[in-house]
Amino acid sequence: MPNRKIIHVDMDAFFASVEQRENPELQGKAIAVGRDEERGVVSTASYEARKFGVHSAMSIQVAKRMCPNLIIVPSHYELYKKVSVQVHDIFREYTDLIEPISIDEAFLDVTVNKYNIELAVDIAKEIKQKIKDRLHLTASAGVSYNKFLAKIASEYRKPDGLFVIHPDRAKSFIEKLPIEDFWGVGRKTAEKMHFIGIFNGAQLLTCSQKHLVEVFGKSGTIYYNFARGIDDRAVEPYRERKSVGCEQTFAKDLDDHVEIVIELYHTVIELIERLRKSEFRGRTLTLKIKYSDFSQITRRTTSNSILFEKKNILPLAKSLMHQVNNEGKRIRLLGLSVSNSVDEVEDNKGEWIEQELEFEDWD
């Protein structure tokens, strides 16, 4: 659908940039947002820190070794949410077709917009400038005729970047694109791609859909289409919450059965609180365990009862844990989530529901 005009806006190092804005002493310095503790993880790193190789999801301890002058700043999530709302207020000046991807990025369909601006790139320029003038933050934007290419474009000239992939140039752009830069291709998928001889878009283009599906399952069709610049998904202003969960990385790996049961109980209590706040009700409970060697397993079960209270969730959580044979392994992380929304099932009986894209390992 080359006639569409899609913008992807991505705030630059969002959490870290907000912290630097709020505290002038942090401006120009290498900072990482996260908890400064043994098992702490970097949430966002400033671009000054990224020059040293620090990135999100990295261990805080590793980050400090890579960047000795790194400043660790605790997160202020309520502030980030407030700023995100302000960013979306700017988006709504141009269109109501806004699909949030996370707290710091979103797709906008500006094919028809409130100011009748012909070129999407002009809208992207105005949005970036208003974010800078009003919020004193920078954003990067990508412009194209579908979500896949707009997303790729927004990453192309970060930070404070703007890049357009025109329909006439999409084919040549995709052919040169490293496979690691394709949206939805993470480390594991990239390794599989390399194994079958795919290192860029041109090589992906030569693969049949049948072969890609054999290797990557249903994601194979997505990669097949992406190689051809095809992504017909609409920008969806409302996205139904699919699950609610929580997880805890322990300061010390657990191997004692009593300790594990106690932590499982605490995780259930936290999950119930999150379910209450989000008013989410589902029927499927999933247990996630990550061991000290970073191997990971999940177990899930679906109940006839609505999972919203301790009396329903705790017995199921214990049952799932009982199914797991830890074989002497120490547990590093424990997580629980509820999915299979009751409201979704009841509201959409007999209807087709468009789901979000699912990839084998999403970046």
Catalytic residue among 105, 270, 273, 327: 105
105 is catalytic: yes
Which residues partner with 254 through β-bridges?
A: 331
Q: At a CB cut-off of 8 Å and minimum separation 6, what does 106 contact?
A: 8, 9, 88, 91, 98, 99, 100
Q: For 270-273, which contacts have Cβ atoms below 8 Å and span 24 or more sequence positions? A: 270/246, 271/244, 271/245, 271/246, 271/313, 271/336, 271/337, 271/338, 272/308, 272/309, 272/310, 272/313
Cα 38 to Cα 78: distance, rounded to the nearest angstrom: 25
How many Å apart are CA 343 and CA 231, to the nearest integer? 29
In this structure, are strands 6-11 and 139-144 parallel, antiparallel, or unpaired?
antiparallel
List the strands of the sheet with 105-109, edge to edge: 98-102, 105-109, 6-11, 139-144, 162-164
Instruction: Answer for the pair 353, 341: CB distance below 8 angstroms, yes or no.
Output: no
**How far is CA 299 from each of CA 117, 242, 316, rounded to the nearest angstrom?**
51, 17, 11
C-alpha closest to that of 271 among 302, 321, 310: 310
Task: Please identify every residue annotated as catalytic.
Answer: 105
